[in-house]
Structure 1
Amino acid sequence: MKIKLFIFLIALATAFQAHAGSSEWTKTPGGSVRLVIDNPLPQATEVRGVIQINLDPGWKTYWREPGDAGVPPELSISGSTNVKNATLAFPAPHRFDDGGTHWAGYKKPVSLPVTLTLAAPNQPARLKGHAFLGICETICIPVTAEFDIPIDNTQSDSLSKTLVSTAFEQLPSSASASFGATLATKTDDEIKLAVNLPSNDPDIDVFAAGNGSVVYGMAKLEKRDPKRAVFSIPIASGKHEKSMVLNYTLVQGKQAVSGTIDVRE
């Protein structure tokens, strides 16, 4: 029900012109992209927003670390004032198999939550920069969506608030002892990741991301017990240092969690 409501809200939003808390739609073959901000309350140090990605039927876009191929979404705020940091978050992705190429992404309209940190709370701010991503059908099209949005304490309209809050609600829950990774060990050029699962549902998958110095490929299920599994995750490129943290999203059926785990040698 939440997913249906979310898609409805995205479709509804396309009927409105850009307002003070959003950028204009950047249109491209296969869809359109914009950024929406929910203005903060006085004294707030953080601002929430979303990168809205509308996808036409048959088109796709990528997760934070696509796997064998792809362009991960990026957010640049280089022209901003009074904004010192911006962090992207990602809903659980879908696994794609394009005739030997495996990658992680989305095949329906998706909104990527954005968290901004203000340098000086309760002072005027401006979010200026661009989002960069790939939208694909049989070929991939690079898309640069520019934005220049003032941030103040003016109350955002109800549609923007709902779009932002719903996007954050769609994120995976935090991993736990009963649903999450328990051990990650490096062997040669791959990571062995052991996970605990909450049920016997056979529909399981894991998606891994590095910290910038290493890129992982798509995971492969090696072993499955009723409520445990072991995946192998190839190290696609980069230098695997002794002290490494693996970011992961673990999916079982309609449930998903995200977490981090230290990688042991």
Structure 2
Amino acid sequence: MMESKKSVTGLPALIGLKLSAMSTRVQFPHPFIALAAALLIGMGLATSALSAQSEWAINDGGRMRLILMPGDDKGTYEGALQIEPNAGWITYWREPGDSGIPPQVGVMPGSDFKLESISYPVPVRIDNGPVRDVGYEQKVTFPLVFSGPVAAGGRLEASAFIGICKNICIPFQAHFTVDVSPQTDMGDGLILAEAKAALPEPPSRDFSVTGFSLNDDHSTLHLDLAVPKTDENPQLFVTGPEGTLFLDYTVVESAPGTLSVEMPVARLPEHYDPSGKTWSVLVVDGGRAMESALAFE
């Protein structure tokens, strides 16, 4: 079990952390990316309204930028935050683990745009002795959805705040300006398609949570899972109240296609009542990843 509490108000002090880390990588085949590429190229021959992008913001650990696709007739705009750590550096998932800063994106006050959602590609677990982090060791793109003006044109002003780490963690904050325009950048459409393909899949018949419960003193979470392969050690990432992440578990029962586990979650907030609360679980098993809500009654 691991609990991780993060402070992200302003620019935190540097967080010392050695990262000669061991990590587990998972490859996710997505053959439709090639099809998406072909479709985008075909679209490029017919129209020039594809995307706009900010300048790259750069610091010692890497760079990041914002891309924005044209809005639809309801004022919905897809976009993405691209982060490219330098070799040997990492950045973080929405619950970073023992240290680090989760990615945050915001729209500047007075903007005609509003951030509606941010999605998180499947991360890796990065172990370095007793320190366990969850994030990305290579470039990563977070899909974004904005609402904004229906009329063509306009300007999006936004900011991003992330942690990017090697031997220390450096807070990395940047302001982005994107002018919505009909200029074509074929690469941005492919980047967004690849980012969506890297997201965990929704629950399905062969990969889902079939049951879950907390024991009476809220110290142990029981999970019953339908899994596609039943790896010897599938990875589980359970997020509970804000700032908590649980990774350790004990197998209770395992059979082809099913897995039952118990996870210690003893360090919940004092007097915590899960009723009406929603946690989530990310399961990585057999080269696939699935994320599901855990809604307590």
Q: 1:51 to 1:233 in 2, by over 3 A?
A: farther
Q: Is the 8 A contact 1:37 1:164 kept in 2?
A: no
Greater shift, 108-117 or 219-228, is seen at 219-228
Q: Is the 8 A contact 1:80 1:129 kept in 2?
A: no
Cα offset for 1:233? 5.5
- Structure 1 gaps, min length 5: 10-19
Cα offset for 1:47? 1.1
Structure 2 counterparts to residues 183-194 of structure 1, below 5 A: 183-187=211-215, 188-194=218-224
**1:229 paired to 2:260:** yes
**1:161 paired to 2:189:** yes
Cα offset for 1:124? 4.2
> CA deviation digits over 1:182-224, x for unaligned, max 9?
22322324533332211133241122234xx533223212115
* Alignment-derived partner of residue 198 in structure 1: 228
Q: 1:216 to 1:94 in 2, by over 3 A?
A: same
Q: Is the 8 A contact 2:200 2:290 kept in 1?
A: yes
The 1-side partners of 2:101 and 2:200 are apart by: 22
The 2-side partners of 1:190 and 1:144 are apart by: 38
Select which of 206, 219, 233 maps to 1:178: 206
Q: Secondary structure of 2:64's partner?
A: strand
Cα offset for 1:144? 0.6
Structure 2 counterparts to residues 1-265 of structure 1, below 5 A: 21-41=52-72, 43-79=73-109, 81-118=111-148, 120-122=149-151, 124-152=153-181, 154=182, 156-187=184-215, 188-210=218-240, 213-223=241-251, 224-226=253-255, 227-232=258-263, 234=265, 238=269, 239-263=272-296
Paired residues, number: 247
Cα offset for 1:255? 0.7
Q: Secondary structure of 1:148's partner?
A: strand
* Alignment-derived partner of residue 11 in structure 2: none
Q: Is the 8 A contact 1:247 1:261 kept in 2?
A: yes
TM-score (norm 1): 0.82
Cα offset for 1:137? 0.8
Q: 1:178 is matched by which residue type in structure 2?
A: D
TM-score (norm 2): 0.74
Q: 1:259 to 1:200 in 2, by over 3 A?
A: closer
- Structure 2 gaps, min length 5: 1-28, 38-50
Q: 1:156 to 1:46 in 2, by over 3 A?
A: farther
Highest RCO, 1 vs 2 (Cα 8 Å, sep ≥ 6): 2
Q: Secondary structure of 1:173's partner?
A: coil
Q: Is the 8 A contact 1:53 1:111 kept in 2?
A: yes
The 1-side partners of 2:266 and 2:105 are apart by: 25
Q: Is the 8 A contact 1:192 1:233 kept in 2?
A: no
> CA deviation digits over 1:109-149, x for unaligned, max 9?
1111111123x423544321211110111110110121011
The 2-side partners of 1:196 and 1:231 are apart by: 15
Q: 1:201 to 1:190 in 2, by over 3 A?
A: closer
Bigger Cα Rg: 2
Higher strand content, 1 or 2: 1
Q: 1:46 to 1:231 in 2, by over 3 A?
A: farther
